[in-house]
Amino acid sequence: MIKPRTPPGVMELLPPDQIAFQRMLDTIRRNFERFGFLPVETPVMELSEVLLTKSGGETERQVYFVQSTGALGKSEGGGESTPELALRFDLTVPLARYVAEHEHELAFPFRRYQMQRVYRGERAQRGRFREFYQCDIDVIGKDALSIRFDAELPAVIHAVFSELNVGAFTIQLNNRKLMRGFFEALGVADGEQQALVLREVDKLDKRGEGHVRDTLVDDFGLADTVVARILDFVKVRSTSHADALAKLDALGEGTDALREGVAELREVLELVRALGVPESAYALNFSIARGLDYYTGTVYETTLNDYPQIGSVCSGGRYENLASHYTKSKLPGVGISIGLTRLFWQLREAGLLDTAQSTVQALVTQMDAAHLPHCLAVAGELRHGGFNTEVVMEPSKLGKQFKYADRAGIRFVIVLGEDEIAKGTVTVKDLRREDQFEVPRSELAKTLRVELAQAQALSKAQPTA
């Protein structure tokens, strides 16, 4: 007898949670499609040679390699060669490979979404996952891609998170050119040094301003006045659309890079507003840097106002060239990513998940085995009317059947006794409204649709955050 268990670092859910998770996936997908993004799925396994072009360090150490039983046998002699296949560790490298491979079959700008699991051999730790969903969208241009696309992504983020019901959130915007320009003007011109300074600044929350200030002065040899200006800069947050524009103006003329970054951010802000995103949902945040060696323009992070400890729930930005390892074509792009497994886990930890509603909407009970054909017919009518319906196939006490429906989160319980069968009716118990009524069978689906519509109208009438 083997103990049934999953490997560490994976998230496996019981049906009520799985339903909640699936609803989040559906909401994300619906909104990605609403904005005209096209679906792509790639194989979970890529050729190691293709997947591992970039980097050695961190990334390569976290890769899962794959070998079929046959290949495993063969490699025993050699031993040291890298296995031929590996599991993807993100969706960006597969996107680069996909776009380069299918370059001549795709229309550019290419707008794709992809929602699949990725794999990282991370150290096992609570809340860290080795298998997790990423939900990505990217727009890829050929040769060039207008800055305007950078404005679409906050609109998508706003649509997704408004519908996910996670409370108020803020899409934080910054621009790497603006940052570069700012640091250049202060004499921190070297890209690598800028990165080190930013990494240090990133520790503000953890170590406190005093510690960071000392390090920048002592270890980096920066003047006190320079450090003061850096610390002021990274604390900039806008409080409204007008304030964001004012904060950009306040940066003054500066270097070419600064001017370019300011102009880009200004255009993005204006279009984000034109796209109907309320100004309470976005803000400038000059401390956002993200993937220092990857992003080159706009960068995004999204935080939940009431749960700052969760960190960014949707991040991304603009990059110069997606697929330089695979093609000579220049493919600039802009994209965002939601790490859904982690987000789901954190929402559950915070008690923010609604797992009360089953996908099953109606349960047809059974009082007597002889009634089964009638029960099946009623179920068929409900299904035909669009209701997800389960039938009790083995008769038991009615109370037990009700209890099952209640625990399972099934809203409508249909009772069909001798009486009802004779009259051509059914009795419906609405467990949510704690209501009971009898209707002619022919009107059952229609009646339940009305009940649902009323409930929906009611819930929409409630003020939402």
Q: Which residues contact 287 (CB under 8 A, 6 or more apart)?
A: 174, 201, 202, 204, 234, 235, 236
Contact 161, 28 (CB under 8 A): no
Q: Report the residue from 245, 383, 427, 432 that binds a second copy according to the rule CB under 8 A.
A: 383
| DSSP conformation class of 237 | B
Q: Report the residue from 350, 376, 431, 455 that binds a second copy according to the rule CB under 8 A.
A: 376
Q: Binders of a second copy among 4-23, rule CB under 8 A?
A: 4-7, 10, 12-15, 18-19, 21-22
Residue 71 or 189: the one with the smaller Cβ distance to a second copy is 71
DSSP labels for 114-165? EEEEEE--PPP-TT--SEEEEEEEEEE-SS---TTHHHHHHHHHHHHHHHHT
- Six-digit token string for 184: 């250049």
Can you state the angle between helices 15-34 and 340-349, rounded to 10 degrees? 130
Q: Report the residue from 57, 70, 221, 424 that binds a second copy according to the rule CB under 8 A.
A: 70
In sequence order, what E strands does 306-361 have?
315-319, 333-339
356 lies in the site for a second copy, by CB under 8 A: no
Q: Which residues contact 206 (CB under 8 A, 6 or more apart)?
A: none
Q: Binders of a second copy among 407-446, rule CB under 8 A?
A: 407-408
Q: Report the residue from 223, 393, 453, 465 that binds a second copy according to the rule CB under 8 A.
A: 393
125 lies in the site for a second copy, by CB under 8 A: no
404 lies in the site for a second copy, by CB under 8 A: yes
Place of tokens 């007898």: 1
41 lies in the site for a second copy, by CB under 8 A: yes
Using CB under 8 A, which of the segments 152-160, 174-182, 186-194, 228-236 binds a second copy? 152-160
185 lies in the site for a second copy, by CB under 8 A: no
46 lies in the site for a second copy, by CB under 8 A: yes
124 lies in the site for a second copy, by CB under 8 A: no
Q: Report the residue from 227, 323, 336, 428 that binds a second copy according to the rule CB under 8 A.
A: 323
Question: Residue 379: which of 410, 416, 429, 431 has the closest Cα?
Answer: 416
71 lies in the site for a second copy, by CB under 8 A: yes
460 lies in the site for a second copy, by CB under 8 A: no
34 lies in the site for a second copy, by CB under 8 A: yes
63 lies in the site for a second copy, by CB under 8 A: yes
450 lies in the site for a second copy, by CB under 8 A: no
What is the C-alpha separation between 67 and 48, in angstroms, rounded?
11
Residue 101 or 306: the one with the smaller Cβ distance to a second copy is 101
Name the residue type at position 204.
Answer: L
Question: Residue 334: which of 114, 36, 134, 112 has the closest Cα?
Answer: 112
CB atoms within 10 A of CB 92: 24
Q: Report the residue from 223, 242, 246, 377 that binds a second copy according to the rule CB under 8 A.
A: 377
Using CB under 8 A, which of the segments 189-197, 199-207, 298-306, 324-332 binds a second copy? 324-332
What is the C-alpha separation between 135 and 314, in angstroms, rounded?
9
Give the chain's radius of gyration (CA, Å). Answer: 28
Q: Binders of a second copy among 263-292, rule CB under 8 A?
A: 270-271, 274-276
CB of 120 to a second copy, least distance (A): 9
Binding mask 92-111 for a second copy (x = CB under 8 A): ----xxx-xxx--xxx-x-x
